[in-house]
C-alpha cells in the first residue's frame, strides 16, 4: 500500500501526542485505519487496547468497515464508537456508582412538557413571564441549557460575566450621547438603553436559574438527557481515580476523528482518558477549515488548545495532497477560505494528486433570474452531463437548508431523473397522521357532547381514503347550511333524504353512508376500549391501511404511521390514566409548540442524483456538484436566533465575525465535494411573482477574484427545457382555480348580499377562503385569540354603556372591566384549554387597570360618544354596506372620530397595516405590495364611507384612530390617527364596488396561493386531487 510523505509520517508517529491536519480529500479515514494496523504490528498491542472516538455513528461504521478490510475479524475487537456510545458503556458498567440504574432518557415531548411546567410556575415578576405566549423563551432555554452543558459553564460563571458586562457598559462610550438629542445633552448617559441591557442580563440570569431547575426536575422524575452522559462520566473519572485508571490502563492508544467538531466536554473527556501520561499516545485528526457544527456545540478552539497543551512533545502533520478535486477547484477553495482569520495555518495549499480528473474540469458561476430558472439550468446541465457518460450517482445538488430540496424533487421527478434524498420529516406534517388525529378529535368531541365536533366533518369527508367526490361534498355542505340542519344528523340519514338524492351522485351517497356508520361505531367504541385499540380500529376499519398499501410511497407512510403509534404507546405507558381527551390535549400542545416528532423519509434509487444539505455533504464526493441558492440571504445573512437570550452580547459567544467564518467554512466544505465540475448558482429575484431583489453571496464575490472562473448568465434559450419548466412552475391555484358550486345554488347567498368591512378584508385576502367561510358557511371553532379579542371588546362596550346609562354620567372603575371580561371568557371556556383560559384571563386582569389609568382622563373629557354602533341600510355607488364601529367620539354635532380597538400586541410589522394604498400600485422597489392599503387603514376608510353615506345622521367622520389595548414594553399604548382624503375615498368606493361585483358574480375560484393559506392548501390536497389536476411546482409546502 503506497502512502505519500505526510501520510507516512503520520503512520510512523506512534509514540506521543499527534495532531494531523487533514484537508478535504487527503485520505483522513485511510490514515486512521492504517495507523491502527501499524500500532498493532509494531507494538504487539491487542486490538482491545486501542480506542477510536468519532463524531457520528456513520463515521464509526465507515471506519469499522475500512478496518475489517485491513484486519479481518480482528477489527471487531478495536473499540470504535462515538463519544455518547463510549459513555453509555461506561455508565452501564458503573451504573451503581453513578446511581442511574432506574433512569430513562427523556423524550423530546417530555422535555418540552417539563420546560412548559417550569414556565407555568413562574412568578409574575420573573422577566421571562409572558401570559399571552407563555413558552416564548422555551426553545432559547433549551439551547442555553445545552450550551452550558457542552461548554461546561456553571451558574456562578454566568452571573459573574453578566455583572461584569453591566459594569463595563457604564463606562462604554456607546452608552453616552454623542450629541444633543431631545432633552438629552451631549455626554449624558443613555438610561433607557442601559435599562434594556439590564433586562437582557436579568433574562439570562433568570434563564440560567431555570436550567438548573429543569435539571433538578429531570433528576426527581428519573430522566436524563443524552448530553448528561458525558458529564456523568467526566464527574465519575474526576471523583474516582481508580475507575479512571482502569480505562487508562485499557486504552494505551487513543485516536479522535473530526476533532474540530468536538465540544468542550468531549475535549475534557479525551484529556482525562489521556491524563495519566505527560506525553500520551493521543492522536487527533481534524481540519480547522471544516469546522461546521458550531450550532451543535462544536468548538474550533479545541484544536488550538490541544496544540498549546502539548507544545513541547507534539508531532504535527499536515496532509495537503488531495486525491479528489481538480487543482482549479482546490485553488478556488483556498482563495475562499483564506479570508477566515481563525485558522491554525494561514496557508494550506492543497495539491491535486488524483489521476481521474476530467480533462474539461471547470468551475462556473451562474446568474439566474430566480429559483425556477436556476432549477431549469441545473436539470438541463444534469441531463447534458449524463449524456457525456457521467452517471447520475456521480452528481449532487447541494443547498443550505432542507426546504430548498422541494423544488428539485418535483422537477427531477417530472424529468424522470432518479434522485437520492434522506431527510427528517415531522410526522405531524404527514397527511395520513393529520387525518387520524382529526378523526380522533371528532370522536372525542362527540363523545363528550353530541354535535360539538361537526366542524371536522367537511374535511373528514375529503380524506383520500374515502374517495368521495369533492363537488358532492360541497353541495352537501351548502344543503346543510341553507337548511340549517346538523351535519351528524344529515350524514346518518343521507340514505333517506330525497332532496340530497337529487343533488349528488348515488356513489357518493353510498360512500358517505358507509363513512357515517364507521364514525358512529367509533364514537360508541370510544366509551368502551383503550385509545390504542380505537386508533387500530380506525386504521383497519376505515380503509386507511389498504389505501397506504396501494400507495407508491407506502414505505414512508408506514414508517410515519409506526412512529405515531410508538408515540401513542409511549404516552399511555408513562401515563396509563390518560383519556382520549388527555392524549389529544397533548397533541394540541405538540402542534401549538411546534414540537417535531421525526421520522426519515428516504427517496432511494440506483444511480441517482444526490440531494443534500451542505452539512450532510461532509465526507461525500461527486464528479459534478451544483451548489444552489448562493445568495447573501441564504448563505451569509446573520441568524438572529443565534443571539438567544443575549448570549452573544454578554458572553461574547458566537459573534458576528465567527458566524460569517463558520458560514464560509460550510461553503468551503460544499465546494470541496466536487471532483471535476463545480457549479455555483445564485438568483436575482425570489420568484416570477415575488420580484424581491436578492444579492449574490459574499463568497461568490470572493471567488470572483479568481480570474479563471467564468460568470455565466443563464438565459431562457432552450425551448424544450426552460419554457416547459416555467410554464409548469408558474401554475398555481390563483391562476387556474377550482370548480365551485353551480351558479343557481350560489344565488341564495349572492342575491341579497350586503358587504361588510370584514367580508371586504377576507375576500381581498383570499376568495377561496371567503367561499368556504361565508358561502358554504362551514362550522368553525373560535381560536383563543378570537375569544380573547371578543371578550375585550365586550368589556369595552359594557364599560362605555355603563357610563351612558349612569345618571351622573360616571365611568365605573377598572374592576368593572375585569368582571365583564372574565364573564365573557367563561362563556367561551369550552373552546379553550385550561392553560389558555388561565393565561389569557390573567392577561386581561393585568391589561385593564393599565388601560384604565392611561385613558380615563381622556374619556372623561369627552363623554359625547356612541359605542358599538351598528350601521346598516347604507348604499355607496349602488353597493349595500353595513358595519359595527367600536367607538364614535363626537367633536360637535357635525363631526366625529371613529375608533377601532385592536387586541393584538403592537409590533413594528403591523405598521404596514396602517398604511394607505399606493394608488399607482408601485412601491419604491417596483413591487405591487400595497395596492389595497393596509387592513387597518382599509377598515377606517370603510367606516368613513359607512358613516358619511348614512342618511339617518347629519355628521361626517373627521378622523379615525386605531388603538392597541395591550401596552408596549415601555408601558405606553400604541395609537395611530388616520385621515382619509378625497382621492382615497374615491379609491375605496371603487374597491368596494369591485369586490361587491366579484362576489355577486360568484368569483370565488381564484385563491391567494399563499403557502400558509388554510383553504388554498385544502384545495391543493383535496379538491385538485379529485379533479385530477397536477400539483403546482410553485405551491410546494416547504419544510
Encode pLDDT of 150-171 as tens digits: 888 889 999 999 999 999 989 9
Edge-to-edge order in the sheet of strand 622-627: 598-603, 419-426, 609-613, 395-399, 622-627, 674-683, 362-368, 711-713
Domain boundary among 694, 722, 750: 722
Average pLDDT over residues 377-389: 94
Q: Looking at the 3D structure of the chain, how many domains does it have?
A: 5
pLDDT band for 841, please (50, 70, 90 cuts).
very high
Average pLDDT over residues 33-57: 92
Establish if 1018 belongs to a structural domain.
no
| Residue-level pLDDT at 923 | 45
Q: Which letter, b or e, does each residue of 101-125 get, where b requires 16 or more Cβ atoms within 10 Å of its Cβ?
A: eebeebeebbbbbbbbebbeeeeee
Does one domain contain both 645 and 687?
Answer: yes
Q: Tell whether the model's pLDDT for residue 184 goes beyond 60.
A: yes
Does one domain contain both 564 and 675?
Answer: no
Does one domain contain both 207 and 300?
Answer: no
The rounded distance, in Å, linking the Cα atoms of 357 and 330 is 12
| Residue-level pLDDT at 577 | 86
Encode pLDDT of 733-769 as tens digits: 334 446 777 788 788 888 889 999 999 999 999 999 9
Establish if 751 belongs to a structural domain.
no
Beta strands in 372-459 (DSSP E): 395-399, 419-426
The pLDDT > 70 percentage for the chain reads 92
Encode pLDDT of 408-439 as tens digits: 988 888 888 999 988 888 888 888 899 999 99
Whole-number mean pLDDT of the chain? 87
Contact 283/20 with Cβ under 8 angstroms?
Answer: yes
pLDDT band for 822, please (50, 70, 90 cuts).
very high
Does one domain contain both 48 and 159?
Answer: no
Q: Tell whether the model's pLDDT for residue 939 goes beyond 70.
A: yes
| Residue-level pLDDT at 724 | 44
Average pLDDT over residues 816-828: 92
Establish if 1032 belongs to a structural domain.
no
Q: Tell whether the model's pLDDT for residue 725 goes beyond 70.
A: no
CATH of the domain at 384: 3.40.50.300
Q: Tell whether the model's pLDDT for residue 884 goes beyond 50.
A: yes
Q: Which of 959, 934, 933 is nearest to 944 (CA)?
A: 959
3-state class of 363 per DSSP? strand
Q: Tell whether the model's pLDDT for residue 345 goes beyond 90.
A: no
Does one domain contain both 631 and 699?
Answer: yes
Does one domain contain both 571 and 438?
Answer: yes
Establish if 851 belongs to a structural domain.
no
Q: Tell whether the model's pLDDT for residue 1034 goes beyond 70.
A: no
Domain boundary among 551, 586, 603: 603
Does one domain contain both 141 and 86?
Answer: no
Residue-range definition of the domain harbouring residue 660: 352-418+608-722
Encode pLDDT of 666-681 as tens digits: 999 999 999 999 999 9
Q: Tell whether the model's pLDDT for residue 297 goes beyond 80.
A: no
- For the ranges 79-88, 732-741, 794-803, the lowest mean pLDDT is seen at 732-741
Decide which of 295 and 509 is more confident: 509
Read off the DSSP letter of residue 772: I
pLDDT band for 656, please (50, 70, 90 cuts).
low
Q: Do you know the residue count of the chain? A: 1039
pLDDT band for 209, please (50, 70, 90 cuts).
very high
The rounded distance, in Å, linking the Cα atoms of 6 and 104 is 46
Does one domain contain both 115 and 85?
Answer: no
Encode pLDDT of 213-231 as tens digits: 999 999 898 888 888 899 9
Residue 916 falls in which region: left (phi positive, over 0), alpha (psi -120 to 50) or beta: beta
Percentages (nearest 5) of helix, strand, coil residues in the chain = 55, 15, 30
| Residue-level pLDDT at 926 | 45
Domain boundary among 603, 629, 660: 603
Contact 770/759 with Cβ under 8 angstroms?
Answer: yes
Kindly write down the DSSP assignment for every residue of 267-317, as one continuous string: HHHHHHHTTTSSS--EEEEE-GGG---GGGT--THHHHHHHHHTTTT-EEE
The rounded distance, in Å, linking the Cα atoms of 903 and 788 is 8
Average pLDDT over residues 660-670: 92
Decide which of 772 and 727 is more confident: 772
3-state class of 187 per DSSP? coil
Query: Of the segments 120-124, 596-600, 708-712, which one has the largest average pLDDT value?
Result: 120-124
Decide which of 1030 and 463 is more confident: 463
The pLDDT > 90 percentage for the chain reads 52
Encode pLDDT of 102-124 as tens digits: 788 888 888 988 999 999 999 98
Does one domain contain both 89 and 155?
Answer: no
Read off the DSSP letter of residue 21: E
Does one domain contain both 287 and 243?
Answer: yes
| Residue-level pLDDT at 717 | 61
Amino acid at each position: 500500500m503506497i502512502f505519500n510523505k505526510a501520510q507516512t509520517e503520520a503512520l510512523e508517529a506512534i509514540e506521543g501526542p499527534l495532531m494531523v491536519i487533514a484537508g478535504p480529500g487527503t485520505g483522513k479515514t485511510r490514515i486512521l485505519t492504517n495507523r491502527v494496523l501499524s500500532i498493532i504490528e509494531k507494538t504487539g498491542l491487542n486490538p482491545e487496547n486501542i480506542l477510536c472516538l468519532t463524531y457520528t455513528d456513520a463515521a464509526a461504521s465507515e471506519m469499522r468497515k475500512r478496518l475489517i478490510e485491513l484486519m479481518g475479524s480482528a477489527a471487531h475487537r478495536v473499540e470504535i464508537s462515538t463519544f455518547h456510545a463510549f459513555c453509555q458503556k461506561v455508565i452501564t458498567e458503573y451504573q451503581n456508582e453513578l446511581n442511574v440504574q432506574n433512569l430513562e432518557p427523556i423524550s423530546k415531548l417530555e422535555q418540552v412538557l417539563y420546560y412548559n411546567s417550569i414556565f407555568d410556575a413562574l412568578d409574575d415578576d420573573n422577566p421571562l413571564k409572558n401570559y399571552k405566549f407563555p413558552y416564548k423563551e422555551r426553545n432559547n432555554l433549551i439551547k442555553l441549557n445545552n450550551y452550558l452543558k457542552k461548554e461546561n459553564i456553571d451558574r456562578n460563571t454566568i452571573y459573574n460575566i453578566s455583572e461584569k458586562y453591566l459594569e463595563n457598559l457604564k463606562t462604554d462610550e456607546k452608552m453616552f450621547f454623542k450629541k444633543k438629542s431631545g432633552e438629552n445633552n451631549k455626554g449624558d448617559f443613555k438610561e433607557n438603553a442601559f435599562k434594556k441591557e439590564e433586562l437582557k442580563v436579568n433574562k439570562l440570569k433568570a434563564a440560567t436559574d431555570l436550567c438548573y431547575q429543569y435539571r433538578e426536575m429531570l433528576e426527581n422524575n428519573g430522566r436524563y438527557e443524552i448530553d448528561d452522559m458525558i458529564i456523568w462520566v467526566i464527574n465519575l473519572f474526576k471523583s474516582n481515580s481508580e475507575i479512571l485508571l482502569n480505562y487508562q490502563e485499557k486504552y494505551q492508544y487513543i485516536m479522535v476523528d473530526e476533532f474540530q467538531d468536538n465540544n468542550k466536554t468531549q475535549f475534557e473527556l479525551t484529556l482525562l482518558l489521556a491524563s495519566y501520561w505527560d506525553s500520551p499516545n493521543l492522536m487527533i485528526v481534524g481540519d480547522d477549515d471544516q469546522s461546521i457544527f458550531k450550532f451543535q456545540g462544536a468548538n474550533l478552539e479545541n484544536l488550538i488548545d490541544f496544540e498549546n497543551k502539548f507544545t513541547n512533545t507534539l508531532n504535527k502533520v499536515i496532509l495537503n495532497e488531495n486525491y479528489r478535486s481538480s487543482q482549479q477547484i482546490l485553488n478556488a477553495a483556498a482563495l475562499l477560505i483564506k479570508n477566515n482569520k481563525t485558522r491554525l495555518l494561514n496557508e494550506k495549499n492543497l495539491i491535486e494528486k488524483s489521476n481521474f480528473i476530467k480533462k474539461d474540469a471547470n468551475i462556473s458561476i451562474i446568474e439566474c433570474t430566480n429559483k425556477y430558472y436556476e432549477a431549469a439550468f441545473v436539470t438541463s446541465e444534469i441531463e447534458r452531463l449524463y449524456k457525456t457518460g457521467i452517471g447520475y450517482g456521480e452528481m449532487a445538488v447541494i443547498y443550505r437548508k432542507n426546504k430548498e430540496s422541494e423544488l428539485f424533487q418535483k422537477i427531477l421527478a417530472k424529468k424522470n431523473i432518479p434522485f437520492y434524498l434522506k431527510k427528517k420529516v415531522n410526522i405531524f406534517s404527514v397527511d395520513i397522521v393529520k387525518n387520524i388525529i382529526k378523526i380522533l378529535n371528532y370522536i372525542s368531541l362527540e363523545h363528550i357532547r353530541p354535535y360539538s365536533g361537526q366542524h371536522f366533518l367537511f374535511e373528514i369527508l375529503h380524506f383520500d381514503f374515502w374517495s368521495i367526490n369533492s363537488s358532492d361534498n360541497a353541495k352537501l355542505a351548502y344543503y346543510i347550511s341553507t337548511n340549517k340542519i346538523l351535519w351528524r344528523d344529515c350524514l346518518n340519514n343521507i340514505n333517506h333524504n330525497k332532496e340530497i338524492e337529487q343533488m349528488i351522485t348515488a356513489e357518493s351517497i353510498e360512500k358517505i353512508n358507509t363513512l357515517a356508520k364507521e364514525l358512529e361505531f367509533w364514537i360508541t367504541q370510544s366509551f368502551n376500549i383503550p385509545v390504542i385499540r380505537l386508533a387500530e380500529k380506525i386504521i383497519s376499519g376505515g380503509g386507511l391501511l389498504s389505501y397506504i398499501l396501494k400507495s407508491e410511497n407506502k414505505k414512508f407512510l408506514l414508517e410515519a404511521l409506526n412512529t405515531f403509534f410508538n408515540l401513542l404507546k409511549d404516552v399511555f405507558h408513562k401515563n396509563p390514566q390518560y383519556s382520549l381527551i388527555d392524549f389529544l390535549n397533548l397533541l394540541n400542545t405538540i402542534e401549538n409548540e411546534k414540537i417535531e416528532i421525526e421520522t426519515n423519509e428516504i427517496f432511494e434509487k440506483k444511480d441517482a442524483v444526490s440531494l443534500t444539505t451542505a452539512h450532510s455533504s461532509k465526507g461525500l464526493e461527486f464528479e459534478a456538484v451544483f451548489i444552489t441558492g448562493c445568495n447573501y440571504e441564504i448563505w451569509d445573512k446573520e441568524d438572529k436566533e443565534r443571539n438567544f437570550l443575549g448570549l452573544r452580547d454578554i458572553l461574547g459567544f458566537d459573534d458576528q465575525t465567527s458566524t460569517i467564518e463558520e458560514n464560509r467554512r460550510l461553503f468551503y466544505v460544499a465546494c470541496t465535494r466536487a471532483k471535476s465540475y463545480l457549479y455555483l448558482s445564485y438568483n436575482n429575484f425570489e420568484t416570477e411573482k415575488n420580484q424581491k431583489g436578492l444579492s449574490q453571496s459574499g463568497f461568490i464575490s470572493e471567488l470572483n477574484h479568481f480570474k479563471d472562473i467564468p460568470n455565466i448568465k443563464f438565459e431562457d434559450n432552450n425551448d424544450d427545457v426552460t419554457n416547459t419548466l416555467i410554464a409548469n412552475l408558474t401554475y398555481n391555484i390563483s391562476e387556474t382555480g377550482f370548480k365551485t358550486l353551480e351558479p343557481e345554488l350560489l344565488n341564495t347567498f349572492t342575491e341579497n348580499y350586503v358587504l361588510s368591512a370584514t367580508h371586504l378584508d377576507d375576500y381581498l385576502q383570499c376568495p377561496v377562503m371567503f367561499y368556504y367561510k361565508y358561502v358554504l358557511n362551514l362550522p368553525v371553532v373560535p381560536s383563543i385569540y378570537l375569544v380573547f379579542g371578543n371578550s375585550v371588546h365586550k368589556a369595552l362596550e359594557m364599560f362605555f354603556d355603563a357610563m351612558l346609562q349612569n345618571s351622573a354620567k360616571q365611568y365605573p372603575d377598572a374592576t368593572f372591566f375585569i368582571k365583564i371580561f372574565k364573564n365573557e371568557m367563561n362563556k367561551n371556556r369550552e373552546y379553550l384549554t385550561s392553560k389558555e383560559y388561565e393565561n389569557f384571563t390573567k392577561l386581561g386582569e393585568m391589561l385593564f387597570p393599565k388601560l384604565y389609568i392611561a385613558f380615563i382622563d381622556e374619556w372623561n373629557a369627552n363623554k359625547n360618544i356612541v359605542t358599538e354602533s351598528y350601521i346598516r341600510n347604507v348604499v355607496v355607488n349602488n353597493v349595500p354596506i353595513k358595519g359595527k364601529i367600536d367607538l364614535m367620539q363626537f367633536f360637535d354635532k357635525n363631526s366625529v372620530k371613529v375608533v377601532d380597538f385592536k387586541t393584538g400586541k403592537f409590533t413594528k410589522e403591523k405598521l404596514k397595516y396602517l398604511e394607505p394604498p399606493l394608488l399607482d400600485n408601485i412601491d419604491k422597489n417596483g413591487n405591487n405590495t400595497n395596492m389595497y392599503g393596509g387592513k387597518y387603514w382599509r377598515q377606517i376608510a370603510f367606516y368613513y364611507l359607512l358613516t358619511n353615506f348614512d342618511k339617518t345622521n347629519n355628521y361626517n367622520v373627521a378622523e379615525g384612530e386605531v388603538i392597541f389595548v395591550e401596552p408596549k414594553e415601555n408601558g405606553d399604548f400604541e395609537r395611530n390617527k388616520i385621515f382619509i382624503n378625497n382621492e382615497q375615498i374615491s379609491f375605496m368606493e371603487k374597491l368596494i364596488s369591485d369586490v361587491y361585483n366579484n362576489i355577486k358574480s360568484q368569483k370565488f375560484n381564484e385563491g391567494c396561493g399563499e403557502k400558509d393559506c388554510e383553504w388554498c392548501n385544502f384545495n391543493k390536497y383535496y379538491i385538485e386531487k379529485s379533479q385530477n389536476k397536477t400539483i403546482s411546482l410553485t405551491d410546494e409546502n416547504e419544510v
